[in-house]
Amino acid sequence: MMIVAGVDVGSRTTCALILGDGGIMSSSLISTGPQSAKTSRKAMKEALTRGNLTFDDVGYIVATGYGRVLVPFANKIITEISCHAKGANWYFPTVRTVLDMGGQDCKAIKVDGIGNHVNFAMNDKCAAGTGRFLEVMAEGLRLPLEDIGELSLQSENEVRVSSTCTVFAKSEVVSLMRRGIDKRDILAGLHEAIATRVYGLLRQVRVEADFAITGGIAKNIGVVRKLEEKVGLKALIPEEPQIVGALGAALIAKDNI
């Protein structure tokens, strides 16, 4: 049996995934610590333990993500654009547009039928449209990050949030709360602001069906619904949207053997 691994060291979350002949054998998802090398080793160990495997069982390892150059045991490094394209194609072979919304960046990727990326647009300069934005807002609203998606769907009177700058949006949220506006209505406004911003990125690559969303924000149903409205397509969401990059890396590792 051929066993390979992919490690995706993101700015906030690190994922290691082990791939065998029959598909995904195991995976791990941990917070990225200050030392990426250490974090990548820990994630890899966790995935191996879960799969009842040792390091020697793995034939080839591809690293990707923001901290990819710092993975000491990688045989090869590949950009996250290529890996997300490959990973999304594995989940959904019909996908042509992938939106990856990560912890500190956001990318719109056009993919062909075999998982190669043909075009992309990226924002990694500004926190708008990234997990970081939502984290700061959840903190300001004193709500758990995992609850804000569902809560925003209960809004009956969405307010307009005019800033997409995280710093300015946070003060806007504080003043809306002070005016007694329902948190759910503020959340709906925040998700609208972010979806509008991210839609600009999608328009740069011109959306084609099928459309998939990956990365941590894909777990926020509020943002997903807003994006679906703007794009006019239903979004395909992988079962575990945060492992797509590592999965793509592992698939590339397999091709390398």
Partner 1 sequence: MTFAGVDVGAQSIKLVILGDGDILYSRVSFTEEEGAIASQRLMEQALERLNLSFDDFSHAVATGVGRGTVPFADMQRSEQLCHARGAYWFFPSARTVLDIGAEGSRAMKLNDQGRVVDFAINSKCAAGSGAFLEAMTKIMEMPIGEMGMLAAGAKRKAKISSYCAVFAESEVISSIHRGVSKERIVAGIHESVVDRLIEILGKVGIREAIVVTGGVAKNIGIIKGLEGRVGLEMKVPPDPQLVGALGAALIARDVMSGKG
Q: Whole-angstrom Cα distance, residue 125 to residue 129?
A: 11
The stretch among 39-47, 160-168, 207-215, 231-239 that binds partner 1 (CB under 8 A) is 160-168
Least distance in angstroms from the C-beta of 159 to partner 1: 16
- Which listed residue (24, 30, 121, 136) binds partner 1 by CB under 8 A? 136
- Which listed residue (49, 79, 157, 175) binds partner 1 by CB under 8 A? 175
Q: Whole-angstrom Cα distance, residue 99 to residue 103?
A: 13
Pick the closest to residue 167 from 124, 195, 123, 133 (CA basis): 133
- Residue 164 found at the interface with partner 1 (CB under 8 A): yes
Which two structure tokens, joined as six digits, stand for 33?
């610590």
Least distance in angstroms from the C-beta of 175 to partner 1: 7
- Residue 69 found at the interface with partner 1 (CB under 8 A): no
- Residue 166 found at the interface with partner 1 (CB under 8 A): yes
- Which listed residue (18, 127, 186, 212) binds partner 1 by CB under 8 A? 127
The full length of the chain comes to 257
Do residues 216 and 13 lie in contact, with contact meaning Cβ atoms separated by under 8 Å? yes
Q: Whole-angstrom Cα distance, residue 49 to residue 45?
A: 6
- Which listed residue (2, 167, 209, 257) binds partner 1 by CB under 8 A? 167
Least distance in angstroms from the C-beta of 185 to partner 1: 19
- Residue 196 found at the interface with partner 1 (CB under 8 A): no
**Considering beta carbons, is residue 75 or 163 the nearer one to partner 1?**
163
**Considering beta carbons, is residue 66 or 90 the nearer one to partner 1?**
66
C-alpha to C-alpha distances, 168 to 118, 126, 143, 159, 172, nearest whole angstrom: 35, 13, 19, 16, 6
Least distance in angstroms from the C-beta of 140 to partner 1: 12
- Residue 171 found at the interface with partner 1 (CB under 8 A): yes
Q: What kind and span of H or E run contains 212? A: strand 211-214
- Residue 163 found at the interface with partner 1 (CB under 8 A): yes
HEC sequence for 91-149: HCCCCCEEEEECCCCEEEEEECCCCCEEEEEEECCCCCCCHHHHHHHHHHHCCCHHHHH
Tell me the per-residue interface mask from 94 to 123 with partner 1, x by CB under 8 A, - otherwise: ----------x-------------------
- Which listed residue (125, 160, 180, 239) binds partner 1 by CB under 8 A? 125
Q: Whole-angstrom Cα distance, residue 32 to residue 39?
A: 6
The residues that touch partner 1, with contacts defined as CB under 8 A, are 34, 104, 125-127, 132-133, 136, 163-168, 171, 175, 178
